[in-house]
């Protein structure tokens, strides 16, 4: 009889706890995603500048996934590309934070989970998103080579997300 008496109390507090946990994960994920979006720009822009590709074409490259060659025509591509860049860092960070809120082992293994997240994002973007988008590059702009891009996703995007989520 005591078990049935306590069960309604447990059920009534469960949605509140779930809402608090979801809200905290959303906040941590957004914070981690924005921070990782900034962090990852440093090596990306440095390597692209070293290859002779400017900051503006790099952001326009991202925008071309939505608007094709029109992305390279002015500031619209720069703004849209920058927004897309941060969208692509915030969404996986929120997903990671939600998983970490349900599975504490993810936080304990952040040094492994972060780079794994970076690998997942890299291949998801490369094999699912970009092939089904309007992504195009003019001859004057070339995407970053495979290995540097993969490492940047692992250690510039995934790892900072995991460490920031864990700290939160």
User: Would you list the DSSP string of 59-107?
Assistant: HHHHHHHHHGGGGGGSHHHHHHHHHHHHHHHHHHHHHHHHHHHH-HHHH
How far apart, in Å, do the first and last CA atoms of the chain sit? 40
Domain extents in the chain: 2-167
Instruction: Please state, in angstroms and as integers, the Cα–Cα distance from residue 105 to each residue in 54, 101, 128, 162, following that order.
Output: 41, 10, 28, 12
Tokens of 96: 């990671």
Residue 51: per-residue pLDDT = 87
SS3 content of the chain, % helix, strand, coil (to 5): 85, 0, 15
Its pTM stands at 0.84
Q: Compute the distance between CA of residue 58 and CA of residue 55 in angstroms, rounded to an integer.
A: 5
Instruction: Tell me which residue of 141, 140, 129, 153 sits closest to 66, measured CA to CA.
Output: 129
Residue 165: per-residue pLDDT = 96
pLDDT digits (tens, 9 = 90+) for 47-102: 988 988 888 888 998 999 999 999 998 899 999 999 999 999 999 999 999 999 99
pLDDT digits (tens, 9 = 90+) for 5-47: 443 444 444 666 878 888 999 999 999 999 999 999 999 989 9
Residue 26: per-residue pLDDT = 94
């Amino acid at each position: 009889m005591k078990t049935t008496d306590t069960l309604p109390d447990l059920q009534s507090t469960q949605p509140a706890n779930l809402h608090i946990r979801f809200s905290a994960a959303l906040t941590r994920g957004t914070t981690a995603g924005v921070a990782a979006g900034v962090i990852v720009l440093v090596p990306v822009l440095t390597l692209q500048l070293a290859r002779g590709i400017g900051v503006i074409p790099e952001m326009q490259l991202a925008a071309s996934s939505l608007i094709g060659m029109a992305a390279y025509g002015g500031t619209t591509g720069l703004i849209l590309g920058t927004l897309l860049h941060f969208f692509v860092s915030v969404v996986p960070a929120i997903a990671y934070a939600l998983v970490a809120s349900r599975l504490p082992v993810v936080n304990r293994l952040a040094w492994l989970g972060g780079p794994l997240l970076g690998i997942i994002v890299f291949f998801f973007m490369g094999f699912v998103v970009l092939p089904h988008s309007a992504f195009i590059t003019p001859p004057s702009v070339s995407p970053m080579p495979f290995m540097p891009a993969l490492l940047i996703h692992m250690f510039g995007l995934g790892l900072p997300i995991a460490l920031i989520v864990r700290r939160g």
